[in-house]
Amino acid sequence: MNDPMTLDAPGDVRMGVWQPPRQQRAFRGLLTAFSYPGRVVRLADDGELATLLLLATLTDGASRLADPERRLSEDDVRRLGVRSSAVESADFVLCTGAHPPEVTPRLGSLENPEQGATLIIQVPALEEGIELHLTGPGIQAEQTLRVAGVDPAWWRLRDEWNVHFPLGVDLVLASEQAVAVLPRTTRLTVEGVH
């Protein structure tokens, strides 16, 4: 099995990620994930990587992508057709759960709150690890999400970045094959943290 924290996959499997029918199927899965915050949605098939499929589906030539840890290969960046960017000005930021970025991502403006960044956070596992309790739009009563391998500083920073709603960032947690979305509208408490 591939290390879930790298973007390496066999070449023949990786090629499927770049095919429009595969991206359309992934897009439908992402719509579900964004519509139901905290719901774990299997995005990738065996051998595929959810992170790469997510980026191939959501980005295009007009997108600015920050990859401060150089998680993507040069070939993948070329295939994505995105523009490389600093974290502060990127539409999408690729990170690991092990440590958050050292700078503030783009939060949007009151005139254009939709310009806040989407942070894609690679995690070792969803459905195990610490328990997050989620409330807000798209959630009936409360949703529980378990996630492993996320530095607790992420939750504090997320609160800071989203304090002036509608400004803020959206988080997509991506394990090897699944994703869960935490939009800026979602309120989050971490079990055992007050």
Instruction: Average the pLDDT over each of 13-27, 32-46, 94-108, 179-193 and give the range with the smallest value.
Output: 13-27
Q: Give pLDDT, residue 123.
A: 96
pLDDT at 4: 40
Q: What is the pLDDT of residue 46?
A: 77
Pairwise CA distance, residues 95 & 6, whole Å = 11
Question: What is the sign of the dihedral through the CA atoms of 50, 53, 57 and 61?
Answer: positive
pLDDT band per the 50, 70, 90 thresholds, residue 45: confident
The pLDDT of residue 3? 44
Q: Is 89 helix (H, G, I), strand (E, B) or coil?
A: helix
Encoding tokens for residue 142? Answer: 């409360």
pTM score over 0.75: yes
For 65-88, how does the pLDDT look when each residue is reduced to its tens digit (9 = 90+)?
999 999 999 999 999 999 999 999
Write down the pLDDT at residue 194.
44
Band (pLDDT 50/70/90 cuts) for residue 193 is: low
Helices assigned H by DSSP within the chain: 11-17, 20-35, 50-58, 74-80, 153-161
Radius of gyration of the chain (CA): 16
The beta strand positions in 80-169, using DSSP E, are 83-84, 92-96, 118-122, 125-135, 143-148
